[in-house]
Each structure stands twice: as structure tokens, then as C-alpha cells.
Amino acid sequence: MNEGLFPNIDWQDIIEATNETLYMTGISVVATFVLGILLGLVLFLTSKDNVWENRTINFIISAFVNIFRSIPFIILIVLLIPFTKAIVHTMIGENAALPALIIGAAPFYARLVEIGLREIDKGVIEAAKSMGARTGTIIWKVLLPESMPALVSGITVTAIALVGYTAMAGVIGAGGLGNLAYLDGYQRNHNDVTLVATIIILIIVFILQFIGDFVTSKLDKR
């Protein structure tokens, strides 16, 4: 079969590249989820009429989020090279892609988190306050559970964007399916490799979307 439809495919390479893509996506999604929720909570809680209302902090975080959300990812990777070298000590391999992936995705997700939190009925937060809840309790028992469907559908969108980012990171040496498609598929003109890499990425995206939709609908009791 290799000689027929896909003459240039080394399935061992494909599996390895897929694993690398899954690894990069997995770690960065988890880190983005945590970091994005933290940033989103701070954005929400420091906004007007909220428990930690603070214009300065809100302005700084908001500016940070907007700046990192606006830089095209491929440029962000380059900009972050010194930072990446300082913490990962290399520019090659999957781990080298992680700082840029997380810094690129977390601000984007933070905005989605903020939107999700804003959609919570103000009255529910007020009810919790009227029961004597401390802010920590309001965050853990009201804000996060009540916005969970939005948080999950938001991380689904972000995860899919991250799959795309890993492919871009691959082009400059981070490994994964993007790297394979570029080095093997494009530079050696092996179109079948590019095609297979594309199909696998599509499958990953479909699976992510399916899981995201399923979990969201299970969580939503409204």
C-alpha cells in the first residue's frame, strides 16, 4: 500500500509526529486552561462593580491580554526566543514550543473566560454574598460552576487554535505534524506526507470539537 497511494510515507515517522503534536497540544491546553482562568478571573473580579474592583490592575492585565492576543503567533515565537532559551535552554523540540503556545493562547482564553463569567446572573453572586460567602467561596462554588459550560466551550475553541499553533511552531523546529509536513512534505516535495499530516490534524480537531460539545451539553443544566 505504501508504494501505491502514499509512496513516501514512513508510518513510524507519522506516529511519532502525531504523538509530538498531541503532547504539545495536551500540555499547552492544560496550562492555558489554568492560566486563562486565573487571568480571566482577575479581569472579571477587578472590573467595575465587582468584589476586587481596581482600575489599575484591570487596565494592566487587560493591556497585557490585548497585546499578546494581537501578535501573530509566528512572530510571537520569534519574539519569545530569548525567553524560551532562558527557561527551556533550547530552541529545538516540542518543549521549546510550549512557552510560546501557552503565552499565545492563554490571553485569548482569558477573554473567553471573562465573557463567560460576565454572563453569570449578577443576582446569583449577590445571593451568595447575602448568605455571607467569602470571595474564595464565591469563586469556587458560584463563578466557576455557573460558567463551566462557557469555560469548556471556550477551551475547545482554544484547543483547536492550539493545534494550528503547534503546526506553525513545527515549521521552525518544534517537531510534530507541522514540522513533518513542512520538512518532508514541502521541502522534499512529498505531497502525500502533507496530505496525511493534514488528515490527521483534521481528525484531531474533530475529536476535540466532539469532546468539547459533549462535555458542554452534559454540564449545562439550564
Partner 1 sequence: MITLSKVSKIFRASGEAIQAVDDVNLSINQGEIFGVIGYSGAGKSTLIRMLNGLETPTEGSVVVAEHNISKIKGAMLRKARQEISMIFQHFNLLWSRTVHENISFPLEIAGMPKNERDARVKELINLVGLEGRGNAYPSQLSGGQKQRVGIARALANDPKVLLCDEATSALDPQTTDSILELLVDINKRLGLTIVLITHEMHVIRKICHRVAVMESGRIVELGPVLDVFRNPAQQITKRFVRQVTEPEATKEAIVHLAERYPEGKVIQLTFVGESTENPLIANLIRNFDLDVNIVQGKISQTQNGSYGTLYIHIDGKNDEITRALEYIEKQQVGVEVIDNE
SS3 content of the chain, % helix, strand, coil (to 5): 80, 0, 20
Q: What are phi and psi of 2, to 5 degrees?
A: -55, -40
Rg of the chain over all Cα atoms, to the nearest angstrom: 20
Q: What are phi and psi of 49, to 5 degrees?
A: 60, 25
Cell 482577575 sits on residue: 42
Regarding 123 and contact with partner 1 (CB under 8 A), the answer is yes
The grid coordinates of residue 55 equal 482600575
The minimum distance between CB 152 and partner 1, in angstroms, equals: 12
Q: Report the distance separating Cα 165 and Cα 112, nearest Å.
A: 18
For partner 1, which stretch binds (CB under 8 A), given 15-23, 103-111, 126-134, 175-183? 126-134
The minimum distance between CB 46 and partner 1, in angstroms, equals: 19
What string marks each residue from 136 to 155 as x (binds partner 1 by CB under 8 A) or -?
-x---xx--xx-x-------
Regarding 119 and contact with partner 1 (CB under 8 A), the answer is no
The minimum distance between CB 143 and partner 1, in angstroms, equals: 11
Question: Of 29, 128, 162, 174, which lies in the binding site for partner 1, with binding defined by CB under 8 A?
Answer: 128
What are the residues binding partner 1 (CB under 8 A)?
121, 123-124, 126-134, 137, 141-142, 145-146, 148, 219, 221-222
